[in-house]
Structure 1
Amino acid sequence: MYEVSVVGCGYLGVTHAAGIAEMGHRVIAVDIDEAKIAALADGRVPFFEPGLEELVRRHLATGRLAFTTSYEAAATADVHFVCVGTPQRPDGAADLSHLDSVADRLGPYLVKECLVVGKSTVPSGTAARLAEMLAGVAPAGNRVTVAWNPEFLAEGTAVADTLRPDRLVLGVPDERAERVLREIYAPLIEAGVPVVVSDIPTAEVIKYAANSFMATKLSFINAVAEFCEATGADVRVVSEALSYDPRIGGRFLTSGLGFGGGCVSKDIRALQARAHELGVGHAFALLAEVDAINRRCRDRVLELLRKQCGGSFAGRRVAVLGAAFKPGTDDIRDSPALHVADAVRRADGDVVVYDPRAMENARRVYPELSYAPTLLDAVRGADTVAVLTDWPEFAAADPAVLGAEVRQRNMVDGRQLLNADRWLAAGWSFAAPGRPALQPAA
């Protein structure tokens, strides 16, 4: 069993801390937000992530997990995982100020040999920079080793992604660092999780490459959807055919409203920015178009809604189903659903939003929008309904029941979630990105 600290108590940090405790180690998690730490120490996770609160409470009870605002309390740890955010700067590059703060705050307490392991998504060269900063402030000097172990968890499945990951990447400078990380993750490795060992610059690149490839795949099928709209083709059938091709596969091949959240968009922009700094900006020129296609997805769904409202939102009521950027979370950062909802509002539409989990966060950031406590309340009196986050509750909705509440039976499926035939049979008109508009039988 190792003594471990986890610095940063956001989605990544809390999940990683609880996961490492589940693997049998003793963990102390550090954050400067006193209210957040008080909640976590009481067993309350201040954001929604399925299964995480139960995991936190279990290991608070076992004594293997604790939360503190004191960096000094983490000083005795053998391994320090750095899980702070790297948000986007105005120029698109990654903001590393939180990482710098960790060096300033934790470094002076590193008095013994230890391993500092970055998990945050960072541009190439960050680990070397962190090592240099720590060497300048840590009493242990060159006995502090820096490694990089990028995370691949997704919100909504973060606990499973931590405890049953599809791979572990260990970016290490020497055999000792590799040995320590293999011992930390021994239960996962024994269960057959693949391990990729690399040098540190390679590990830094891997996470950016993974997110950028996923974004490219999503934007590609959304570009195909644009083409299908112009030709009258059906992007769903195109996607199905592509999914059987072993060179392509079906994951992330669903067209719709595009991606959002706090990671993918910022990561592809940060990769472009770093490539330009290194003089190889041309290598990722395609990512600018990936980003542009993704932004256009929101405008295209907005236009589908406008058409269903007769060409203008003025005097029309639009029910927006979804506020979180994806299902399984209450995170609304860069939410495509709320972007569209607010655009309808600014175009003089009467917008009502409902989401199973993200209402409180949405109200705080978008107070100008109206919100409904239930799905039926949201659609009542609507001229058109838009499914903009693919929650299971929306997939299971009964078109006849909703049809009795709306003013007009118009549906825009921005996530390719619904069975169009069911809605057409219940008398709804039906539109979705990349698909021909459908009308119910007369």
Structure 2
Amino acid sequence: MALRITVIGTGYLGATHAAAMAELGFEVLGLDVVPEKIAMLSAGRVPMYEPGLEELLSRHVAGLDGASGRLRFTTSWEEVADFGDVHFVCVNTPQKHGEYACDMSYVDAAFSSLAPLLTRPALVVGKSTVPVGSADRLAKLLAEQAPGEVELAWNPEFLREGFAVNDTLHPDRIVVGVGSERAEKLLREVYATPIAEGSPLVVTDFPTAELVKTSANSFLATKISFINAMAEVCEAAGGDVVKLAEAIGHDERIGSKFLRAGIGFGGGCLPKDIRAFMARAGELGADQALTFLREVDSINMRRRGHMVELAREAVGGGSFLGKRVAVLGAAFKPDSDDVRDSPALNVAGQIHLQGGQVTVYDPKGMANARLLFPTLGYADTALEAVRGADVVLHLTEWREFRELDPAELGSVTTSRILLDGRNALDPVKWREAGWVYRAMGRPTA
């Protein structure tokens, strides 16, 4: 009999995982405690922007025209417990308010709600990013509270926003932390299609599986902050960080990915994951091993302040009062509407607090940005955002912004000054249209 799968938590990770499991041929039941979210997903719509996800969802949600019917959603824990052979826990693990540590309350609540209802053999699989040691604790909870024969496995997610559908269906690796051959066998069955297509499967213990995601994110954050530290040196020495990155990127030991200097990283994963990693290392008595991550975080946050200073210089070096500042970008990265810990919005907010009249435009992130920063100005197009601006800041590297016509934008601004916070625009094109172009880490370029 074919495995039946449940997905607990239908946010960004859960909705993507549920749709992908249905695409792989499984009967899937998704659960969330928010009825409005369940209603939206049951209608084939997603509460976030992710390329290809809504189309994938619509192919499988029961009751939609032409859909396979393999995917349903519910708010009932009893229905989920009765339905599933394999239960994926995909709930959020945000940063604790006022602390570096990870907030495990959603994970704990999910396990506590599900465990007492599991009366038949099942595998519970954690996908949320958790502090190392959590799986051992949760395995004990299952052993104590589940009436049936229930095991735990840990299967970290590696989704990149903007590429989540492909990353789920064609993962570059599948990591499973298991405590038995049965658990490994079940997960091999779940991921049989991507494994057959060549996705490597790494089978390990609970602590190693938990460490993989935070280790990977810490490495990426370190690489980003390294090139941003080099940008600071280039600013001081008159160098060009883009050429520097190109040169060191040809070294195959280093590689060119994640070497674009700018205003740094943000989003719902990297910042909170490296902070939670530092906090957990301290609890384990290994805090000295990760002290370098404090500087990684510090460099990252410093880049935002540096962009604010560049903008202040651009409008005369004194005050932002009475100055109009256009900000192109609100999402923390392109192809996403996620504004959590967005460097772009952080810069916009800082300038606004210092008296600047800030107008923001983003192709997909406007609604979320308005919720987070309701006092900023917003425009429906890039052209409207820059109208009357004394300086234009490019802070999220959307393709739409690379294709803008500098001459058209220049015709409506007060001053043709562009600060490229992502080193992603063509300096020659903008300068030929009469703009002063300035990028971070390139004082003379």
TM-score using structure 2 length: 0.97
Could you tell me which residue of structure 2 aligns to residue 234 of structure 1? 240
Could you tell me which residue of structure 2 aligns to residue 85 of structure 1? 92
Residues 19-58 of structure 1: matches in 2 within 5 Å? 19-58=20-59
Could you tell me which residue of structure 2 aligns to residue 103 of structure 1? 111
Cα shift at 1:335: 0.8
The match for 2:419 among 393, 412, 420 is 412
The alignment partner of 1:332 has SS state of: coil
The match for 2:382 among 369, 375, 380 is 375
Q: C-alpha offsets along residues 56-98 of structure 1, whole Å, 9 cap, x if unaligned?
A: 1101121111111111111121000010111111321111111
Count of residues paired in the alignment: 436
The match for 1:131 among 139, 159, 162 is 139
Residues 243-262 of structure 1: matches in 2 within 5 Å? 243-262=249-268
Structure 1: tracts of 5 or more residues without a match:
none
Q: C-alpha offsets along residues 246-273 of structure 1, whole Å, 9 cap, x if unaligned?
A: 0100110100010001111110011111
The match for 1:355 among 362, 367, 374 is 362
2:130 corresponds to 1:122:
yes
User: In the alignment, is the contact (CA less than 8 A) between 2:85 and 2:123 conserved in 1?
Assistant: yes
Residues 312-391 of structure 1: matches in 2 within 5 Å? 312-391=319-398
User: In the alignment, is the contact (CA less than 8 A) between 2:18 and 2:30 conserved in 1?
Assistant: yes
Residues 173-252 of structure 1: matches in 2 within 5 Å? 173-252=179-258
2:121 corresponds to 1:94:
no
Structure 2: tracts of 5 or more residues without a match:
62-66
Distance in 1 separating the partners of 2:75 and 2:422: 41
Paired residue type of 2:147:
P
2:158 corresponds to 1:157:
no
TM-score using structure 1 length: 0.97
Could you tell me which residue of structure 2 aligns to residue 433 of structure 1? 440
The alignment partner of 1:385 has SS state of: strand
Distance in 2 separating the partners of 1:247 and 1:104: 45
Q: Percent of counterpart pairs with the same letter?
A: 57
Q: C-alpha offsets along residues 400-420 of structure 1, whole Å, 9 cap, x if unaligned?
A: 111111111000000111010
Distance in 2 separating the partners of 1:203 and 1:153: 15
Cα shift at 1:135: 2.0
User: In the alignment, is the contact (CA less than 8 A) between 2:326 and 2:358 conserved in 1?
Assistant: yes
Residues 275-314 of structure 1: matches in 2 within 5 Å? 275-311=281-317, 312-314=319-321
Cα shift at 1:108: 1.6
User: In the alignment, is the contact (CA less than 8 A) between 2:242 and 2:260 conserved in 1?
Assistant: yes
Q: C-alpha offsets along residues 288-331 of structure 1, whole Å, 9 cap, x if unaligned?
A: 00000000010111111111111121111110000111111111
Cα shift at 1:437: 5.1
User: In the alignment, is the contact (CA less than 8 A) between 1:47 and 1:330 conserved in 2?
Assistant: yes
Paired residue type of 2:349:
D
User: In the alignment, is the contact (CA less than 8 A) between 1:430 and 1:437 conserved in 2?
Assistant: no
Paired residue type of 2:136:
A
Distance in 2 separating the partners of 1:104 and 1:151: 22
Paired residue type of 2:174:
L
User: In the alignment, is the contact (CA less than 8 A) between 2:142 and 2:151 conserved in 1?
Assistant: no
Distance in 2 separating the partners of 1:400 and 1:36: 44
Cα shift at 1:365: 1.3
Distance in 2 separating the partners of 1:335 and 1:42: 30
The alignment partner of 2:212 has SS state of: helix
Cα shift at 1:347: 1.0
Q: C-alpha offsets along residues 134-191 of structure 1, whole Å, 9 cap, x if unaligned?
A: 2222111xx2100001000011111111111111101111111111101101110010
User: In the alignment, is the contact (CA less than 8 A) between 2:238 and 2:444 conserved in 1?
Assistant: no
User: In the alignment, is the contact (CA less than 8 A) between 1:83 and 1:119 conserved in 2?
Assistant: yes
User: In the alignment, is the contact (CA less than 8 A) between 2:264 and 2:300 conserved in 1?
Assistant: yes
The alignment partner of 1:72 has SS state of: helix
Cα shift at 1:356: 0.5
Distance in 1 separating the partners of 2:175 and 2:166: 17
User: In the alignment, is the contact (CA less than 8 A) between 2:240 and 2:444 conserved in 1?
Assistant: no
Distance in 2 separating the partners of 1:436 and 1:294: 19
